[in-house]
């Protein structure tokens, strides 16, 4: 159980960005063999990123084990608590990284190189970049963009630049939200657990949340109305905007109150947010695959 905890399976939810290209690239329709190949490739990409991210989590916990012992919640992590030895943790991290690289290379050469790039970037993040204010959140957001690009590589579709920018803006919003939640929960003691928290203030983070949430929503609207999206995917994604607004605003409200330690905990435990997220996913699926589902939008929008 302690080895399962250090790979953080609950955080694998972050890797669902790999499936974005599968859905928005309309790979779920067509010949059964092609659909099966696309789904299996996306699942393979998801599993590879799960192994890669677990390798990073273990490495990061190794680097932070001393400060984690002072943290009210992180001190219970197996490495910080001493229930998993350093040697065992290093070996498991290397096994996860090797599995991710080997698996991704078998799926797609470009995906293999992307996984290596992701691992290198996250090592630099754990060693130094996470101590640089604002850049720490930018690097985290780039990591999520790499997940979205990886999904496009494994299912062999081109990805819209607006979708990448939208992913970056959304994840930057989530990253600043996590910092805001940490500041709210840890208060003046935050700097001793995370160096960058000394530079962040509630007012600054509230401003960053306002800017990035607005940017994420605008980028989504630009993606939904982009000529390529309208011609290749659908012209009706824009009608999911109310649900997008609800999810963004609810996340912002909850993290500023410090009710959750970060996006993962909120997604896993806040039922209204879960309902909004699932509803948005279902709406996107119905809209994108309307023809296959026999939905006639012409009659619907005639009213």
Residue-wise DSSP of 250-290? HHHHHHHTT-SSSHHHHHHH-HHHHHHHHHHHHHHHHHHTH
* pLDDT on residue 21: 87
Does the pLDDT value for residue 255 go beyond 90? no
What global pTM score does this model have?
A: 0.86
The per-residue pLDDT for range 77-124, each reduced to its tens digit, is 778 777 888 888 889 999 999 999 999 999 888 899 999 999 999 999
Average pLDDT, the chain: 84
Distance from C-alpha of 138 to C-alpha of 129, rounded to nearest angstrom: 10
* pLDDT on residue 42: 92
* pLDDT on residue 44: 93
Diameter over CA atoms, the chain = 66
Does the pLDDT value for residue 150 go beyond 70? yes
* pLDDT on residue 145: 92
Distance from C-alpha of 134 to C-alpha of 295, rounded to nearest angstrom: 45
């Amino acid at each position: 159980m302690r080895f399962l905890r250090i790979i953080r399976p609950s955080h694998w939810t972050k890797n669902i960005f790999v499936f974005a290209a599968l859905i928005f690239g309309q790979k779920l329709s067509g010949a059964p063999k092609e659909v099966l190949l696309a789904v299996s490739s996306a699942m393979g990409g998801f599993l590879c990123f799960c192994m890669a991210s677990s390798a990073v989590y273990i490495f990061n916990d190794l680097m932070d084990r001393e400060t984690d012992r002072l943290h009210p919640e992180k001190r219970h992590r197996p490495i910080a608590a001493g229930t998993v030895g350093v040697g065992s943790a290093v070996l498991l991290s290397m096994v996860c990284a090797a599995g991710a690289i080997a698996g991704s290379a078998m799926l797609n050469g470009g995906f293999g190189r992307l996984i290596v790039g992701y691992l290198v970037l996250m090592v630099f993040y754990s060693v130094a970049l996470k101590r640089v204010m604002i850049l720490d959140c930018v690097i985290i957001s780039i990591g999520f963009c790499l997940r979205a690009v990886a999904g496009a590589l494994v299912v062999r579709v081109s990805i819209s630049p607006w979708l990448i920018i939208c992913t970056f803006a959304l994840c930057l919003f989530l990253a600043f939200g996590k910092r805001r939640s940490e500041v709210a929960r840890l208060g003046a003691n935050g700097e001793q657990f995370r160096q960058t928290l000394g530079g962040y203030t509630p007012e600054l983070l509230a401003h960053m949340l306002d800017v990035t949430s607005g940017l994420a929503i605008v980028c989504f609207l630009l993606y939904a109305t982009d000529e390529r999206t309208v011609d290749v995917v659908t012209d009706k994604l824009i009608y999911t905007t109310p649900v997008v607004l609800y999810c963004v605003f609810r996340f912002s409200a909850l993290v500023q109150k410090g009710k959750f330690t970060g996006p993962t905990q909120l997604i896993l435990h806040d039922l209204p947010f879960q309902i909004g997220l699932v509803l948005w996913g279902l709406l996107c699926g119905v809209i994108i695959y309307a023809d296959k589902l026999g939905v006639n939008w012409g009659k619907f929008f005639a009213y």
